[in-house]
Amino acid sequence: MEIEIDHILKKNQLSVTGSRKKILELFLQSNGALAHADIEKKTGEKFDRVTVYRTLQSFLDKGIIHTIPTADNSIRYALCKDDCSEGHHHDNHVHFVCSKCSNTICLDHVTVPTVKLPAGFKAQEVQMVVNGVCKTCLS
């Protein structure tokens, strides 16, 4: 784990620091998406708010994480898969938000279907978010 974290950071030309290691660890541990507030809570206020913002921003820039659109004004971040490279993401999978536990889960094996747009529109990226009850909350 420790080794994997260091490897990911170095691979992306980021220096290995305490906050980056800790925040990346959180993403690797959680199978879902994290909002800024989640990270602050889970790190136990160990790091400055500003540092968390900047760390997330640099992870975004490097393509380590991606954002998930939500209707409730809270950006959520999730780990990108290995085939994500800087500036060019392949996270065309469906995201699931549970209305019970409010966890956001990447459904890596459910790809976003293509839609036919009206004439004159050119698609670049498609995001799909499903709201409902997740596996753990349904049982």
- Residues lying near its own copies in the complex (CB under 8 A): 67-75, 94, 96, 99, 107, 109-110, 112-113, 115-135, 138-139
55 near DNA, judged by CB under 7 A = yes
Indicate the residue among 9 and 97 with the shorter CB distance to its own copies: 97
Residue 26 carries which side chain, given as an amino acid letter?
L
Find which of DNA, its own copies, none residue 44 binds, CB within 5 to 8 Å per kind: none
Window 1-20: residues binding DNA (CB under 7 A): 10, 14-20
The residue with tokens 């800087």 is 86
Alpha carbons 101 and 115: distance in angstroms, whole number: 30
102 near DNA, judged by CB under 7 A = no
Alpha carbons 9 and 18: distance in angstroms, whole number: 12
Total residues binding DNA (CB under 7 A)? 23
Indicate the residue among 9 and 38 with the shorter CB distance to its own copies: 38
Residue 137 carries which side chain, given as an amino acid letter?
C
| Cα 107-63-88 angle, rounded to 5 deg | 85
The residue with tokens 């065309």 is 92
Of 6, 28, 23, nearest in space to 15 by CA: 6
Q: How far is the CB of 23 from DNA (least distance, A)?
A: 8
- Site residues (vs DNA, CB under 7 A): 10, 14-20, 36-37, 46-51, 53-55, 58, 73-75
